[in-house]
Amino acid sequence: MATISDAQRRALIEGHLPLVRHVVFQVAVHFPRHVDREELATAGSLGLVEAARRFDPDRGVPFDRFAARRIRGAILDAVRAADWAPRSVRNNARRLENIEQRLASELGRTPTSDEIAQALGITRQELDRLRDRLFRSVVLALEYEVNEADEEMTLVEMLRDDASVEPSEELEHRELLAYMRDAVALLPERHRTVVAGYFLEGRKSQALADELDVTESRISQLRSEALVMLREGIQAQYDTQQGEPDATEPLGRVAKRKARYAGAIAERSAWSDRLTV
C-alpha cells in the first residue's frame, strides 16, 4: 500500500471539501425535512477525512470517486444512528411490501388500497396512517430503481448536476467552512490537539496518548467531546436568527460554557471574512 505525506493528505481534504456539500445535496433530497442538513455535512466531512487517511493511489481509483463513497457512507451511517424510525415502523414497512408483492403476483396488477388493507387485517384509515408514518421515516437508497419516461433509471442517475454550484450554496459552504475553522481553533488545547492529530495528521490514538501523557481511552473521550463541541458550537450559529440575539441567560455551568464557546465562534471572524474564505 502506497503512503502519502501529511501535506498531501491535508491538500486532498481541503481540495475536496466542496465534494462534501455536493454529496449532501445529492443525498439529503431524499431525506425527511427534520433531518439536519448541517449534521449531514459534518458527518460527510468526517467521511472525507477518513477517505484521505485510507486512500491508496496505487489502486488506480481516483480520489474523488473513492472519497464520494466514503462521504456518502458516513452520511448514511449518521442518519441510521439517529434512528428516527422505530423498529416497529421498519417491521411494518417490510410487512406492507411483502403483502403488496404477493397481491400483485396473485392479481396480475397493482392491488388497491382496500385490498391491501384487507390482507393486512386493518382498516383503510389505519393503512393510510401507516403509509404516512413510513413516508416520513423512509430513506431511499441512491440505487433505488424508478421509472422515468419509460426508462429504468436509479435515483443517482436522476440527480441534478451540481458541477455548477449556485451562488447562495457557495456562500453557505464558505460560511460553514469558516465556522469549522474557527470552532477548531477555539477548542481547548487538548481537544484541539486530538482533533488535529487524529483527523488532519492521521496520527494513531496511542501516539496522541503518549504525547498528552494520558490513556488511549482518554484520547477517545477527548475526541468524542471535541466532536460534540464542534457540532453544538457550529449549530448554535444557525439556531439564532441573524440580528435577533438570544437574550435568554443560560443556566448552569455546562450551559454557560457552551454559550461562551458558541459566542467566541460568532465573534472570531467578521461575516464578510467568512464569505471570502
Q: pLDDT digit string (tens) for 121-171?
A: 889 888 888 777 665 554 444 444 544 445 555 545 555 555 555 666 677
CATH topology classification for 6-82:
Rna Polymerase Sigma Factor; Chain: A (1.10.1740)
Taking the C-alpha atoms of residue 109 and residue 113, their distance in angstroms, rounded to an integer, is 13
260 neighbors 214 (Cβ within 8 angstroms): no
Topology at the third CATH level for domain 87-137: Arc Repressor Mutant, subunit A (1.10.10)
Given this chain, do its domains 6-82 and 167-274 carry the same CATH topology?
no
Taking the domains of the chain in order of start, what are their residue ranges? 6-82, 87-137, 167-274
Question: For residue 72, what pLDDT band results from cuts at 50, 70 and 90?
Answer: confident
Q: Which pLDDT does position 33 carry in this prediction?
A: 60
> Which has more confidence, 10 or 93?
10
**H or E element: which one contains 20?**
helix 17-28
- The burial class, CB within 10 Å (0-12 / 13-18 / 19+), for 150 is exposed
* Per-residue model confidence (pLDDT) at position 194: 92
What is the residue whose three cell numbers read 456539500?
21
Which residue in the block uniquely carries the three cell numbers 469558516? 178
Cβ-defined contacts of 196-205 (< 8 Å, 24+): 198/223, 199/46, 199/49, 200/6, 200/9, 200/10, 200/13, 200/49, 201/6, 201/9, 202/6, 202/9, 202/52, 202/53
* Higher-scoring residue by pLDDT: 227, 97: 227
Could you say which DSSP state residue 30 is in? T
Domain 167-274 belongs to what topology? Arc Repressor Mutant, subunit A (1.10.10)
Residue 151 pairs in a beta bridge with: 148
Give per-residue pLDDT as tens, 134-144. 655 544 444 44
Instruction: Inform me whether the pLDDT recorded for 32 exceeds 90.
Output: no
Check: CB of residue 250 under 8 Å from CB of residue 259: yes
